[in-house]
Every structure is written in C-alpha cells, then in structure tokens.
Amino acid sequence: MRLPVLTLCAAGLLTACLPSSPKGPAPVQGVSVMAFTIDISPGKIESLYLRNDTPRDLMLTSFTLNNCTNLRQECGAYTPNILLPAGKSVAVMRLESANPLLRFHYQYGYQTAFVNPSGGASTSAVSVSSPISIRMNALKDPEAFVPRATGSLGEPECNLPPPKTRPAGVSRLMMNFASTDPMNRRSIDVTLDTEGRPVRYVDSRGNLSIHEGMPGIDTLPPRTSIQVDVQQQVAILVNSGGGKPTEFLRASGPEVMTAAALGFPRATMDRIIEVCGYQSDTP
C-alpha cells in the first residue's frame, strides 16, 4: 500500500513538506538514519523527515505508523520507495491532528536498503519504532534511568510455543511474566530479522492497558517502556502515569545493551531467543 502524501513528497509537489533538505539535529555516532520533525502549525501539523547520515544512498523501502491517537493519517504499513541521498534530509510524511483541539500521538518504524551504483537495492536494515510527536531528552548514562514501573517479577512464560521450523521472514518472540495485578505486568517483545538476528527489543512494564498518547495518562497507574534498536544500540525510554508528566529519554552506545537499569537487554533478549525461539537440530 502506498500512502498518497509520500508520493507527493517524493515528487516534490507538496509545498507543505517545507524545506527540501533541512539540517535537523546533530548526527549521532552509530546512528545511520536520523528522524526528526518540523512544526507547520505547532501541536496540529508537522512534517516528518529522515536524514541519511551514511556515505551511500539509501532507499526507504517500508514505513509504518502505529499506536495512533487523534491522527488524521491512517495507521498502517506502506511501501514508499523514497530515495534518501547520502548526507541529505528528505520529507517523508505530513502528519495532522484529526481534532485540532486535542494532542495527537503516533509511533513509527521503517526499513531502509542501500542502493547499488547500478540501481536496485540490497542489505535491508530495520529501525526501531519510537514516539516522535514529542521532544526527547538525552541520557548520557543509561544506568541513571529510573523506571517508573518495575513490572512483575513472576514466572516468565513464552507467549507462544517455540516454532518447529525456522520462520521465513521477519518474526517476533514474546515473553510474559505472571502477575495477579493487572496494573503491574511485564511483557518483553523481541523482533528478529529474516536471518533470525535480533533487531528490536521492547520491555513494557506496569499498566499495559495504556499508551503514552492517551488523554489523562498522568493520573493513571505508572507504565515504563524500554525500546532498543539492537543494531544501532539506541534506546528510547518512556515513563508515563503515576501522577507525573510523561518522560521521554534517549540513550545510545553499547552500554544500553548491558545496563542493569534497563533490565540487561542483551542477556534478557538472548534468554528469550533461547527459550521461545526456533531451536535448530544441528549442534
């Protein structure tokens, strides 16, 4: 499915897409594609850009909107096939509130592929999805993160039995932790690429019936979300509820994979793959 506004932006026909290649935030070491937004009408309309910080051209092969709240654009997966030239920013999408009197919220995910000099694309890479209708604060030391919700420490259980055959495409594994308190749950989701390698890790704790964009969330029981882009070693940390404003933090570097404050993502992820994933009969 192709989103019409993506086609318009790619063709340079939508003036509301604003600057053709704005600089955006400073590059971050280890992050190949930087996403950022520019307000057209603050709180009501914004334009989403992706900047290619690699020395090679990339193709935006897939773009996904999810967890949409009060968003005029339809949530779902699209195949825009927009070229991201090396070192350039490209407008991807215009986002608007359905009701201009209320805040809007969404999350995104995308896939890119390197473009060969002779044309075509190869070496697809998967990116983490994270909230982008807000401003995140940088966290230099991931061990300084204080989760607002600890989540259940009960007996872990795979959401589904381990697959008997190797998944043919991108797959997901999920582990839930037993809890008698619906306001103190914990669920961990691991996304694997087509080769079975982990690319995304999401640890959700606390009141899992809410999400960051819900009206009145500050007054609800606490929730913590730890989202890690495994390849880029970038973590998006969200604390919400508990009588406090929602907090969005961003940490990067190899430390995010081993931080105790984040629940030891690398070790936990490996354990979930070992227990819930496909097990080859080959020694």
Q: Are strands 137-138 and 247-252 parallel, antiparallel or unpaired?
A: parallel
| Claim to verify: residue 128 and residue 147 sit in the same structural domain | no
How high is the pLDDT of residue 268?
A: 94
How high is the pLDDT of residue 255?
A: 95
H or E stretch at 89: strand 89-96
Total domains, the chain: 2
| Claim to verify: residue 114 and residue 191 sit in the same structural domain | no
Q: Which of 82, 91, 69 is CA-nearest to residue 24?
A: 91
How high is the pLDDT of residue 211?
A: 53
CA angle 258, 264, 269 (to 5 degrees): 105
Residue 281 within any structural domain of the chain: no
| Claim to verify: residue 14 and residue 97 sit in the same structural domain | yes
| Claim to verify: residue 67 and residue 106 sit in the same structural domain | yes
| Claim to verify: residue 93 and residue 38 sit in the same structural domain | yes
| Claim to verify: residue 129 and residue 148 sit in the same structural domain | no
Rounded to the nearest 10 degrees, how much is the dihedral formed by the CA atoms of 196, 202, 203, 204?
A: -130
How far apart (Å, rounded) are the C-alpha atoms in residues 51 and 36?
Answer: 8
Domain boundary among 88, 107, 133: 133
CATH of residue 45 = 2.60.40
How high is the pLDDT of residue 111?
A: 81
**Three-state secondary structure along 145-213?**
CCCCCCCCCCCEEECCCCCCCCCCCCEEEEEEECCCCCCCEEEEEEEECCCCCEEEEEEEEECCCCCCC
| Claim to verify: residue 190 and residue 127 sit in the same structural domain | no
Residue 81 within any structural domain of the chain: yes
| Claim to verify: residue 61 and residue 115 sit in the same structural domain | yes
How high is the pLDDT of residue 218?
A: 61
Residue 257 within any structural domain of the chain: yes
Contact 51, 88 (CB under 8 A): yes
45: CB partners within 8 A, 6+ apart: 16, 39, 94, 95, 96, 97
How high is the pLDDT of residue 136?
A: 66
119: CB partners within 8 A, 6+ apart: none
| Claim to verify: residue 157 and residue 113 sit in the same structural domain | no
| Claim to verify: residue 161 and residue 245 sit in the same structural domain | yes
| Claim to verify: residue 255 and residue 184 sit in the same structural domain | yes
How high is the pLDDT of residue 34?
A: 84
Domain boundary among 133, 163, 190: 133
Token pair for 258:
């081993």
Domain boundary among 78, 102, 133: 133
How high is the pLDDT of residue 126?
A: 37
How far apart (Å, rounded) are the C-alpha atoms in residues 121 and 123?
Answer: 7
3-state secondary structure of 51: strand
| Claim to verify: residue 83 and residue 49 sit in the same structural domain | yes
Name the phi and psi angles at 158, rounded to 5: -65, 140
The reply to whether the predicted model has a pTM over 0.75 is: no
CB atoms within 10 A of CB 144: 11
Residue 161 within any structural domain of the chain: yes
CA angle 127, 274, 236 (to 5 degrees): 30
CB atoms within 10 A of CB 212: 21
Q: Pick out the chain residues at pLDDT < 50.
A: 1-17, 118-134, 212-215, 282-283
pLDDT, tens digit (0-9, with 9 covering 90-100), for 183-207: 888 889 898 888 888 988 989 888 7
Domain range enclosing 99: 4-133
How high is the pLDDT of residue 281?
A: 52
